[in-house]
Amino acid sequence: MSRFTAPIAEQIWDMKYRFKQADGTAIDKTVEDTWRRIAGSLASVEADPAAWEGKFYDALEDFKYLPAGRITAGAGTERSVTLFNCFVMGTIPDSMGGIFDMLKEAALTMQQGGGIGYDFSTIRPKGAGVKGVAADASGPLSFMDVWDSMCRTIMSAGSRRGAMMATMRCDHPDIEDFITAKSDAARLRMFNVSVLVTDPFMEAVKADKPWDLVFDGTVYRTVQARELWDAIMQSTYDYAEPGVIFIDRINAANNLNYVETIAATNPCGEQPLPPYGACLLGSINMARLVSDPFGKAAQLDEAALIDLVGTAVRMMDNVVDASRFPLEAQAREAAAKRRIGLGVTGLADALLMVGLRYGSDEAARQTDRWLHAIARAAYLASVDLAKEKGAFPLFDADKYLASGAMMQMDEDVRDAIREHGIRNALLTSIAPTGTISLYAGNVSSGIEPVFAYAYTRKVLQKDGSRTEEEVVDYAVQMWRDTFGDAELPDYFVNAQTLAPTDHVKMQAAAQKWVDSSISKTINCPEDISFEAFKDVYMQAWDTGCKGCTTYRPNDVTGSVLSVSEASEDAPQVDSGADVVYLSEPLDRPNELEGQTYKVKWPDSEHAIYITINDIVLNGHRRPFEVFINSKNMEHFAWTVALTRMISAVFRRGGDVSFVVEELKAVFDPRGGAWMDGKYIPSMLAAIGGVIERHMIATGFLEGEGMGLKSDPQAQVVNLDAPRGKACPSCGQFDMQMQEGCMTCASCGHSKCG
């Protein structure tokens, strides 16, 4: 029998984590093979691998411990990829050469599959003088645009786009431009952005005092702190960005504040890191550890939890030695501190199983107790590792015990660290777990509430027929299996029906025992007032959170799946959209209708000919394949590659208009050209323009720069049902803001990589 409890779980495994040859032939025949591959790889660095491989397999079995996606996909494959999910890069020098050195490092890191974070506060503001050059500085935002363009061109390992986080201090002279940068929907699309908010700034906000904007000791101008705070809030209210990071609080709570200063985080914000720091993530699946779920004796098996945490810590510590790193500086940083980020997923499901309403005072107290137990077990396991293998190289007992989260740790744990040292400087973090949660049977993500009790996912088969799959939350399915059609108890709540204050309450309860930070989205209703919205952030500050990320659906950000509190099932995604994910590419008919276009790039001897063929499904025409040809042999390799890649995307179905957007965004560093009165940044952009015009002419797109004219695969049935944005991977309208990141509920695609 399959270990998967839902079809989507097996599909996620097959698409993202199953080890396959280059031609698609599966090496991992079953998920047990995947667990065995990971266990063997992480045990290989032990002095006695055989003694640990079985223990590691037991932890992975039945999805009890879920290593982060990079580990699950890469461990034991011998591929040149990093097992670390993300990195904060080096401090950006305030010089042209240094800036572009950092750009090169970012490209190399994303090429191996790592998301990156950068603090752009170190670059002088726009208009500042540049010594030795008769010019003014262009400012950090202009260089962020360069980073953004670079990221668009790098397809990271595992077929995942690079993800980036940009931060800027609240006292930088360009902070106002940073706050509003993403109000332009076409700008900085590859970035998440967050403001580094300091303690003095929050004090100035509360007291309505003036606030200096400073760089390199020079005050550029003075603003009112409360007005600047309101500008941050207004942008977040309107565009869901920037996020807010309470950076002084993060540094004060850092166990390593005696050897490092943090100024940036990874793309989802749960891992504040020093220059060249890396996040090594994994999650305990709490939904798998509840005994007698929904019964009178329902409780979390804490003995099993403590044992599992100990094994997980050892496995994660071994990743430091087993992984490759894009840069030597990253390898040195990881080896010196051996920080790991063990977190949880399925918390909301576990609370449901023991009869607690997510967001209630009792649920917050229970979360505190469970996270405390995990933190104790993790620190004591790391002490045991220090006895066996040695403490992390920068360990200093007196300084370590007087810093950060160690100040509130239990005295017996502190005594053990004082006597034996500790292997890992930091141990806990709540990561985004959207994809691995689907892989584990659609358990609730991280510490988030259940997002939707159930929704319907449509899958197009090769013969053109459609099947419907109900995707049900893990705890809801368990309730159904136990009680049949009995109505869900009133303590079943979801992300849309919770008050924002309940979200913050749960984040604050978990934060107490998390030594890094938490990836969490506080869902706000569309009609929340601006004043009430600001109160959410002030509550996060007042209750000790290290940051705050909200999501308020509106015309700009897009709505998300809505859930009825009175109904077991969430309303389906707009069935009129019905843009579907193809389980397998469609077979090519013997004949297709198409057009051929000629593109003559200036200064090029030969023209390029682009043929676009369409397929007709349900009476609607959509692009099916592309052929690009040229007599210029210098173009041969990339035109063949582009032909194959675009055609492969087209044959997978869904909203493939993103191909146009990506091509049109490519710029040639040698310069573009003027064609038909418009500046085209590259030959690839010209090809994108041709494909776009073809899509408009055939009725697939509404117009230049616009989305689908009509769904080419279905009729509109219900125009009023709310829906999320279209997923760029599978095309379904299931994009949801979860754990600070836009994530597709259908295929697990994540904007954050």
Predicted confidence (pLDDT) per residue in 502-524, tens digit: 999 999 999 999 999 999 999 89
- Read off the pLDDT of each residue in 454-463 and give the average, rounded to a whole number: 69
Structure tokens at 63: 């999805």
The better pLDDT of the pair 719, 589 is held by 589
- Rounded CA separation 521/738 (Å): 6
Q: What is the DSSP code string of 384-434?
A: HHHHHH---TT--HHHHHTSGGGGGS-HHHHHHHHHH--S-S--B-B---H
534 and 679 Cβ atoms separated by less than 8 Å? no
How much is the pLDDT for 65?
A: 98
| Residue 174 CA: distances (Å) to CA of 134, 201, 513 | 21, 16, 35
Q: Which sequence spans correspond to the domains of the chain? A: 35-131+155-185+197-556, 582-697
Is pLDDT above 90 for 642?
no
The better pLDDT of the pair 337, 152 is held by 337
- Rounded CA separation 684/667 (Å): 8
524 catalytic, yes or no?
no
* Biggest CA-to-CA distance, the chain: 79
How much is the pLDDT for 572?
A: 36
- Read off the pLDDT of each residue in 376-403 and give the average, rounded to a whole number: 97
Which one is catalytic: 85, 251, 255, 266?
266
53 catalytic, yes or no?
no
How much is the pLDDT for 711?
A: 40
496 and 563 Cβ atoms separated by less than 8 Å? yes
Is pLDDT above 90 for 721?
no
Band (558; pLDDT cuts 50, 70, 90) = low
Structure tokens at 403: 């810093």
CATH architecture entry for 35-131+155-185+197-556: Alpha-Beta Barrel (3.20)
302-306, 414-418, 435-439, 712-716 — which is least confidently predicted?
Answer: 712-716
Structure tokens at 690: 């041709």
Band (732; pLDDT cuts 50, 70, 90) = low
> Per mean pLDDT, which of 7-21, 231-245, 702-716 is the most reliable?
231-245
pLDDT tens for residues 43-63?
999 999 999 999 999 999 999
pLDDT tens for residues 643-700?
888 888 888 777 787 888 888 877 776 777 777 777 788 888 889 989 988 988 888 8
548 catalytic, yes or no?
no
How much is the pLDDT for 478?
A: 95
Which one is catalytic: 53, 260, 270, 448?
270
Kindly report the average pLDDT of the chain as a whole number.
86
How much is the pLDDT for 703?
A: 72
Q: How many percent of the chain have pLDDT more than 70?
A: 85
How much is the pLDDT for 158?
A: 38
23-32, 34-43, 146-155, 393-402 — which is least confidently predicted?
Answer: 146-155
Helix (H, G, I), strand (E, B) or coil at 52: helix
pLDDT tens for residues 469-490?
888 999 999 999 999 989 999 9
How much is the pLDDT for 570?
A: 36
Which one is catalytic: 151, 268, 545, 744?
268
Band (539; pLDDT cuts 50, 70, 90) = very high
| Residue 234 CA: distances (Å) to CA of 47, 180, 541, 550, 687 | 56, 9, 17, 12, 38
91 and 123 Cβ atoms separated by less than 8 Å? no
- Read off the pLDDT of each residue in 146-167 and give the average, rounded to a whole number: 70
Is pLDDT above 60 for 74?
yes
